[in-house]
Structure 1
Amino acid sequence: MLQELLDKIDNKEYTVGIVGLGYVGLPLMWTFHSNDMPVLGFDIDKEKIKCIENGTPYIKHLGEEMMQKLAGSDRCDATTDFTRLSEADTILMCVPTPLDEHREPDMQYVEKTAMTIGEHLREGQLVVLESTTYPGTTEELIIPILESKSGLTAGEDFYVAYSPEREDPGNVNFDTGSIPKVVGGHTQEGIELACAMYDTAIVQTVPVSDTKTAEAVKITENVFRAVNIALVNELKVVFAEMDINVHEVLDAADTKPFGFMKFVPGPGLGGHCIPIDPFYLTWKAREYEEHTRFIELAGEINTAMPQYVVDQTLKSLNAHKKPMNGSKVLVIGLAYKPDVDDQRESPTFKIMDLLEKYGADVSYYDPYIPEIKPTREHPNWTGVESVKWDEETISQFDAVVISTNHSDIDYKQLAEWSDCIIDSRHEMNGIQHKSDIHIWQA
């Protein structure tokens, strides 16, 4: 079985099955398809399947051209019919791993997907988990489910590996195919097969000793970012009190050719990884009676940043002799990062919730998100539409909060149209503005 699958992979005659066609699965589908592999995508969302069949983009930064090529290809198919999992030679799991209401891992999507795969698993297949998770997930959760549902034995009848996704939505310098892939296997055969598979489409594979190590790699990458972002966020707060521009400090420090890596402060953490992954590790560490105090402190600092931005909004309104209660406040940027339509875990939601809690009349503007999509954490905003970008609309707001700095927003116009701007992204720096404007810059 092993050699048969290796031969299929070497000859590019194998079919890749991808479960979950979101921000990870869809780019992965495109990457394998672009390298001449047949791809079979699975998702429970019928609308996503229709979009793939019709060539209609549902993730803006991936573009229309890609979707049309997938729709017109005889090597790409997408379905909600999970009985077709047996048609795939390799199955990649790309499903969400959020936190629950207690800030603990919510593994329901991974568990349900593993159960479904197990029900249709056949001998000789390779199953790879790509979802970010805590060390031990593949061995302790995935493999037992697959074995119990299929009656097969991992490492003998089928193969298992873990390879963490490293997507960075909107990054123009790196895409799925150009980012090295860390791979850990349940057995040596699992590593061998997974590396061979990814080698057909990814620039480089980086094998590690086992699945637990590969899972720890992804957690470490995101903990590193979370901790360093917390550091500069704390410096921002401290330096602001000292009337020191933290961005000027960071720019100057960044000229040091060694021993320094620049991170930038902001209104809080967003996206599918950095706000979540550190909590997966702190949760797992408790099983070993270990405490991740440093990581937890970083989480506290980053979680507090939306409140800090709202406090500055209150002060800025006060400088204009206006109360927060009853003021019209516009928040710019719902996406968690510039130039994408990804609203997952965006700190903008927390900022809007806090503003509304203090009595403000809150609206948002985002050219990438014309209408707010449903979220589990902030259902009250579902269906709310972005305001228009024109002088008549923007000038009616008592204050404008820049939460996400999309590059195609005209900040010079903003300076002309608003006289109270709370800039959490340092976007207004150097922009000429009228003398009576009040700008708080992060």
Structure 2
Amino acid sequence: MVDADQTFVVVGGGPAGVGAAGTLRAEGFTGRVILICDERDHPYERPPLSKGYLLGRQARDSVFVHEPAWYAAHGIELHLGATVDAIDRTARTVRFGEDGTVVRYDKLLLATGAEPRRLDVPGTDLLGVHHLRRLAHAERLRTVLANLGRDNGHIVIAGAGWIGLEVAAAARQYGAEVTVVEPEPTPLYAALGPELGQLFAELHRERGVRFRFGVRLTEIVGEDGAVLAARTDDGEEHPAHDVLAAVGAVPRDALARAAGLEIADRAHGGGIVVDERLRTSDPDIHAAGDVASIPHPLFGTRLRVEHWDNALNGGPAAARAMLGRAVTYDRVPCFFSDQYDLGMEYSGWAPPGTYDQVVIRGDAGKREFVAFWVARGRVLAGMSVNVRNVTEPVRKLIRSRARVDTEALADPHVPLDGLVP
């Protein structure tokens, strides 16, 4: 039984952590709720950092999850700029902050998120080498892109994943010259496979982005501490005033490792192993968001999902589980992207090797369609491109695990709802 004498500690100020703290109060928990964030800014949403805020279309204040006064009003003890450096599972305490504050917990949630993967090449210490994960990164990069656009400057982007492409789109809209270096044969290869990745390559090429596929960045060349060029393993040198490292993210699981919690292997994306209730190998500690490795019954494997939707829903689910509610977290992964005039939303999980065909409903040439990744007649994933109001039917198709008629799936005149048994 949960009562006012208990203390629940949440580590991490992203949507998972904030959502969990808010849900504890909404569900009637009257004990202490302590939210510890290692950033000095109040908790904020990450999607605008590579989209509207980066483009200058959203004000800074718009990215914050809540007004600053919200936390105290809901009895949430918010600690900003404080890093948790130790968990004592025997004593059930966490130590945090520069003064080494120690607080005892009855339940602990780790929502520590992920951090950008670093480039392991010479020259990464030069001015003009960027990552994009935090608000401060976006603020700096927004100024950089505006200056590059004004001066006809060049940016080289290492990585053609979602962050790389969204920043490429923003850079071109500012007027900067863009070269994207990607070792895979198409953009978004791991997420979409070659069939749909090529569509995004064409989208960006039409706007003047230059791609170098099948090559890796080997060195960032500079002079007087500033970037001059980026070299690739095919012997080419690409002019650059700035370089963005967009080569993926790694889970921030060092705290959990040090505490002896079970960690997933690299084949499953790493992260903290949790069960369907988002409990770690210690029943008093839960994990949610980017750092959690979750067993997914629909796909028969562990998934570590780095997208906003997972954090938004995983944190509240973990909070309910911490309160003893019946929870089975099996949400279909979902993410969205905006690039130029293309808006897309993807649901499911279908990396290369898991599907046997891609079915297109609509007009791919006009970039108004829905794509489905299908294996043995079952829909594993779906992506809408400039088509609205299909996300829920797509999720229902995925959840149903029903075999579908692929001709009907491709026919825009056949309602998607009618394909779900």
Q: Same fold (TM over 0.5)?
A: no
Considering Cα pairs closer than 8 Å and 6+ residues apart, tell me whether 1 or 2 has the greater RCO. Answer: 2
TM value normalised by structure 2: 0.32
Bigger helix share: 1
Larger Rg: 1
Structure with bigger strand share is: 2
Please give the TM-score of this superposition, normalised by the length of structure 1. Answer: 0.31
